[in-house]
Amino acid sequence: MSFVPYLRGATAGYAFESGREPLAGAWGVGGAIVATEVSRRWGTVRHAVAPRLEWRAGTGLAGDGIPWLAYDALDRSSSGLLSAAPAGAWQQLRAAVETRLSSGGADLLRLEVGQDYDVGAGRFAETFAAAAVAWRRLSGDASARFFAVDGRPEGAKVPALPSAALDRFTELRANVSLADRRGDALRAGFIAVGPGGSGALLAGIDPLFDLSPARAGPTAAASAGARVVLGGATLGYDVLFPGRAARVSACVGDGERRVGAWQAQQHAASAAWSSPCRCFRLAATLRVNDCGEIAPSVSLDLGRLAEPRPAR
């Protein structure tokens, strides 16, 4: 059993040269994590179950605040758009259970389910689930966040192009890759953010979550690619897709056009070569979008010239 309490405070101020009073803001954050783990072994295989409960609370912004002070996850702003925490004082709980199957010190399978709870509002927030698997050269992971009990306190704007499947999730991610020791690889990825976004994406590192809906609309993107290593050269190919129907800029003029889900929007072929002395690296990329526009680029990296050479 482990018990980890923590407490932190911060303040920020800004003094103008003339004509205006100084601005300042301060806030405090505290919390505690209680966790335990139960495991058993079958030879080299170990199975572990680890429940965890986290409580976290924070004060509201004291002082006038600085409207533009929100350039990192620790900042608090008097502007709701830029703030990295819920408005006013907040108190939240997160309960989760993780189970892992490992062998030789490496996780073969990891599963986690959990629930967020807004203590201040007295209502359930997002439910979340995650899974990861690794077997020989194959690895993959997936995660999802959604409102399984109570909905969002402030409803999100209805998307112009709804998706019956994706709009049920506030956040959905998936990645899979197959790679060998040499570096050859096949990979694919997907990410989707639903209407209003996920509380974990909107919050900073202090709060567990912020249920305020994001102003940006829902989005989804997918990619697939391959990489081949040939000595000092690496060849790659990637294709990008929209994960849901969307409106994008028209190929001609200033208007918009509708693209369907999984309609390839960009193809990218790349080649890179590192010199035998590892003194420089030459790379070239050719991109072609679905409008037929071609965008080549070439780069020369001399950054390794300044690196120390190993003694012989």
Domain boundaries of the chain, sorted by first residue: 2-230, 231-312
Would you say the C-alpha torsion 230, 232, 235, 236 has a positive or negative sign? positive
- Phi first, then psi, for residue 120 (nearest 5°) are -60, -40
pLDDT score at 73 = 66
pLDDT score at 214 = 82
Number of CB atoms found within 10 A of residue 94's CB: 21
Q: What is the pLDDT along the chain (312 residues), one digit of tens a residue?
A: 999 999 988 888 888 887 788 888 888 899 999 999 999 999 889 999 999 999 999 888 888 777 776 656 677 776 666 677 777 888 999 999 999 999 987 889 999 999 999 998 899 999 999 999 998 899 999 999 999 999 888 878 888 888 888 889 999 999 999 999 888 999 999 999 988 888 888 777 777 888 888 878 889 999 999 999 988 899 999 999 998 888 888 888 888 888 888 889 999 999 999 888 778 889 999 999 988 899 999 998 887 666 666 555
pLDDT score at 247 = 85
pLDDT score at 201 = 81
Nearest of 222, 221, 218 to residue 197 by alpha carbon: 218
pLDDT score at 287 = 95
Q: Do 46 and 39 form a contact (C-beta atoms < 8 A)?
A: yes
pLDDT score at 18 = 79
Q: Do 71 and 79 form a contact (C-beta atoms < 8 A)?
A: no
Q: What share of the chain is helix, strand, coil (3-state, %, to 5)?
A: 5, 55, 40
CA distance linking residue 61 with residue 84, whole number of Å: 11
